Amino acid sequence: MRKEIPIAVSFLAGASIVLGFFLNVPFFKVTASRQLLNWAVIVAAFALALGAGNLTRIHVTNAAKRGKHWPYSIILLVCLYGYLGLGLWRGASDSIYQWWFNGALVPGNSTVFSLNGFFIISAAYRTWRLRNWRAALLVGTAILVVLGRVGIGQAMWPALGPISDWIMTYPNAAGMRGIMIGAALGTISLGLRIILGIERGHLGVES
Amino acid sequence: MLNAGTAAKLVFFCLFMAVVYWGMKAVRRGVNIRTKQLPGLTAIDEAVGRATELGRPFFANIQASGPHIEDQVLASCELVRYAVQSAVRYEAPFMCVSNSPDGHPIFEEIISSAYMAAGKPELYNPNNVRFIGGFSSGTHVQIMQLMKDENIAAQLISGNLMNQTMFFAETGAALGAIQIGATKNTHQMPFLAMQCDYSLLGDDLYAAATMISRDPVRMGCLTAQETGKALALVVIVVGVVARLMGSNAVVDILRR
Amino acid sequence: MESKPDLPYRLQNIDTRIIHALILILILLPLLRPIGLPVQISAGTRAAYNAIEAIPAGSLVLWAYEMNAANEPELMPAAIAWFHHLMRKRCKIVAFSIYSEEAPIFAQKAFETVGKEYNYVYGEEFVVMPFRAGMETAVAAIGRDIHGVFPTDFFGNRTDTMPLMQEIKGLSDFAILLKTSGWGPDVFVRQMVTVYGIPMVANCTGIVAPGAMAYLSAGQIQGLVGALTGAAEYEQLLRRPGTAAAMMDAQSTTHMLTVILVLLGNVGFYASRRGPKGGR
């Protein structure tokens, strides 16, 4: 029963959504699929609580056992529950809540996100080597786009802007589309396997 | 009866189902479906071997982009199962980190079952299967720190990867880890191709899960997947030729 | 004693810390002393501008406002430009988010900044919905039943009593769908554009923009504003220079640095292959 019930639920839910997409039958199109989608939104919200619970378990244990970086576990728990409490007490539009958001979360996250720029440039330097003609083609194209997207490149050679636009619109989009079609078919295939109960990896058991 | 604009999609869907059925039947009849080797898949064994040699962890880093189960996380389950089974066999240290609240219990189940099935439950440490949640950059730093603390030897970065790809791949590269990247997100593919030793990109991620099991039904699905690609290619070529000849017929049919 | 590495080796192995320091300097310098390099308008940005320009004044606009604390510096300039463009036309905007929990705060912040200038009234001309988990499922649910998914707005007010929400029966009432996020437009193309035929314009981070081009050239989205470059172009089209234009010089210098570093690395690579010692 541990496997059968989730498989039956997957089949009913998946088939209703698929039928709701194709068939103009009010039960599938409106009642079943709309209700199921609304339920899915609620279930997904519960997943956030599940995540918070898991985080609490790991960090309470770490702090209690004085594990690695345990003071950070305490900071994390204080922030997690303190901010949650503040939000519940004063509401998300409250000025204190917003102050913490704008003063701590935004700059912190933006700082880490900006590391991407540093990493991308240093990784490009390390890996863009003209080892063979294919690598040369890739690096050459990349340089045209890198320069063509910014003012300095366009000032050096005005044709770089349109060239970069052309590369992005045609060869790039064509390649991307090919990958997307393949990946979409993979997704359909996986979805079918789950709906039909063939794929059971997500139930924690070997298929 | 049919919703507007779905007729062509329904025909394609039915064709797809028919090929799945045919593929399943063919494999069950003993028809051998030849598949290409996926270097990204065979590299998992190589990576586990390296982790065993160095006595440092194999790090499965499975990422979601939101608080719900996603197809790419589901497809990653089989990669994690394959890696952990290999790691248990060689008694290599194994860690799994996920930011998917729904995916985490699945990984716990997969990993603990692998240790139980191999008769080595004493080697299983629940703290090695971690949920490090959140979808903002701040939490990615926590994973980068963990990678550094554990001094990982190998990394599998898989799932619905977003901006975190470079953080993890760069940290892995700095630690000299052998890296395997898997995603269908086109925007992260250049980074995986640039930073990882091996990759499973696009539909390779889904194909890998099937190829691990060699299960007839799944092989049927894989056949359908590949046939669908061939069909899409034919439709594209016919559509382009028709368009060049001034006909919009293919586009009109697909829009029906 | 260990011999000192030769020049080709050093050219291929510049210390990452030096590279990072150079990047920091090359970002800071143009921000402190702007160069003011002009930017050419790309086809995607022009198409986005034209698509928004083409909707009738006072139209209903659905905006997937998926900004988070990480990508806010990259996405906010284009969002501000869109707010100006829509508010000039007195469009009625419904903002929602299904990817990012913090997005409603950013939507409200941008509305408060720009809305004042146009005397926009919350609830009548703009409403921000709370975050809804579920991603693709949530997008599909919004398409089927927007009132059911959002019975209240971000502040907890009932939406059925809001004049703006009373005008909406379903997704077909919206003239256009806008999307601001660090992700591609695929989910919205699948669940809204394909199903309801609503035109869509996207704004995304630079990393995502190449992938999103496939949707633009296929006509599944009507325009694409890619990253800060796109935002600067949009500001230029709107004739309203903003923060993106100011940041473009920093992009120019760092892109130039990338090219120089790649060239140096390759010079080192070839020199080491041809040199007397051979490859290292």
> Subunits touching C (CB < 8 Å, at least 3 pairs)?
A, B
Percentage of residues in chain B with pLDDT exceeding 70? 98
Instruction: For residue C255, give the H/E element and its range.
Output: helix C243-274
Domains in chain C, number: 2
Q: What is the number of CB-based contacts under 8 A between chain A and chain C?
A: 181
Which chain C positions have a beta carbon within 8 Å of A161's beta carbon? 40, 42
pLDDT at A200 over 90: no
ipTM of this complex prediction, to 2 decimal places: 0.82
Q: Determine, for residues B170 and A123 on separate chains, whether the beta-carbon distance falls below 8 Å.
A: yes
pLDDT, tens digit (0-9, with 9 covering 90-100), for C8-46? 999 999 999 999 999 999 999 998 988 888 888 999 999
Which chain A positions have a beta carbon within 8 Å of B232's beta carbon? 181, 185
pLDDT, tens digit (0-9, with 9 covering 90-100), for B144-163? 999 999 999 999 999 999 88
Tell whether C117 and C255 lie within a shared domain. no
Tokens of B118: 């191999």
pLDDT score of A205: 64
pLDDT, tens digit (0-9, with 9 covering 90-100), for B102-152? 788 889 989 999 999 999 999 999 889 988 876 677 778 889 999 999 999
pLDDT, tens digit (0-9, with 9 covering 90-100), for B181-219? 999 998 899 889 888 999 999 889 988 888 887 777 788
pLDDT score of B25: 83
Tell whether C142 and C206 lie within a shared domain. yes
Side chain identity, residue A157? W
Touching check for C185 and chain B: CB below 8 Å?
no
Residues C47 and C237: their CA atoms lie apart, in Å, by 11
Tell whether C139 and C119 lie within a shared domain. yes
Tell whether C129 and C90 lie within a shared domain. yes
Answer whether residue C12 is part of any domain: no
Tell me if B221 sits within 8 A of A189, measured CB to CB. Answer: yes
Which has the minimum average pLDDT: A79-88, B130-139, C212-221?
B130-139
Q: Which of B:152-171 have CB within 8 Å of C?
A: 162-163
Which chain B positions have a beta carbon within 8 Å of A24's beta carbon? 1-3
pLDDT score of C75: 93
Residues B50 and A117: their CA atoms lie apart, in Å, by 31
Residues C145 and C138: their CA atoms lie apart, in Å, by 10
- Could you count the other beta carbons within 10 Å of the beta carbon of residue C164? 19
Q: Please classify residue C158 by burial: count the beta carbons closer than 10 Å to its beta carbon, then call 0-12 exposed, 13-18 middle and 19+ buried.
A: exposed
- Could you count the other beta carbons within 10 Å of the beta carbon of residue B9? 16
Q: CA of A14: which chain C residue's CA is closest?
A: C137
pLDDT score of A204: 64
| Structural domain boundaries enclosing C280 | 247-280
Which chain C positions have a beta carbon within 8 Å of B183's beta carbon? none
Answer whether residue C220 is part of any domain: yes
Count of residues making up chain A: 207
Q: Which of A55, A111, A176 sits opposite B133 (nearest CB)?
A: A55
Average pLDDT, chain A: 85
pLDDT score of C179: 96
> Subunits touching B (CB < 8 Å, at least 3 pairs)?
A, C
Q: Determine, for residues A204 and B113 on separate chains, whether the beta-carbon distance falls below 8 Å.
A: yes
pLDDT score of C2: 63
Tell whether C255 and C235 lie within a shared domain. no
Distance from CA of C133 to the nearest CA of B (A): 7
For chain B, residues classed under CATH 3.40.50 are 39-211
Touching check for B135 and chain C: CB below 8 Å?
yes
Q: Which of A28-42, A170-184, C200-214, C257-271 has the highest mean pLDDT?
A: C257-271
pLDDT at C210 over 90: no
Tell whether C230 and C265 lie within a shared domain. no
Bigger pLDDT: B227 vs C174:
C174
Which chain C positions have a beta carbon within 8 Å of B185's beta carbon? 184, 211
Tell me if A153 sits within 8 A of A146, measured CB to CB. Answer: yes
Angle between helix A133-148 and C243-274 (nearest 10): 160
Tell whether C176 and C202 lie within a shared domain. yes
Which chain A positions have a beta carbon within 8 Å of C71's beta carbon? 113
pLDDT score of A99: 85
pLDDT score of C279: 42
Percentage of residues in chain A with pLDDT exceeding 90? 27
Residues C215 and C229: their CA atoms lie apart, in Å, by 19
Tokens of C123: 């609830």
Which of the residues A125, A177, A202 would you substitute to probe the B interface, choosing the one with the greatest number of B C-beta atoms within 10 Å? Answer: A202
Q: Determine, for residues C69 and A40 on separate chains, whether the beta-carbon distance falls below 8 Å.
A: no
Tell whether C126 and C159 lie within a shared domain. yes
- The verdict on domain B39-211 having CATH code 3.40.50 is yes
Confidence of residue C277 (pLDDT cuts 50, 70, 90): low
- Could you count the other beta carbons within 10 Å of the beta carbon of residue C133? 22
Q: Determine, for residues A207 and B3 on separate chains, whether the beta-carbon distance falls below 8 Å.
A: no
Residues A148 and A158: their CA atoms lie apart, in Å, by 8
Residues C101 and C74: their CA atoms lie apart, in Å, by 18
pLDDT score of C278: 45
Answer whether residue C154 is part of any domain: yes
Touching check for C194 and chain B: CB below 8 Å?
yes
pLDDT, tens digit (0-9, with 9 covering 90-100), for C90-115? 999 999 998 888 899 899 999 999 99
Answer whether residue C227 is part of any domain: yes
- Could you count the other beta carbons within 10 Å of the beta carbon of residue C12? 20
> Sheet of B58-63: strands edge to edge?
B129-131, B94-98, B58-63, B154-159, B178-183, B198-201
Percentage of residues in chain B with pLDDT exceeding 90? 48
Distance from CA of A53 to the nearest CA of C (A): 17
Touching check for B12 and chain C: CB below 8 Å?
no
On the CB side of A108, how many CA atoms lie within 13 Å of its CA? Answer: 13
- What are residue C200's DSSP bridge partners? C177
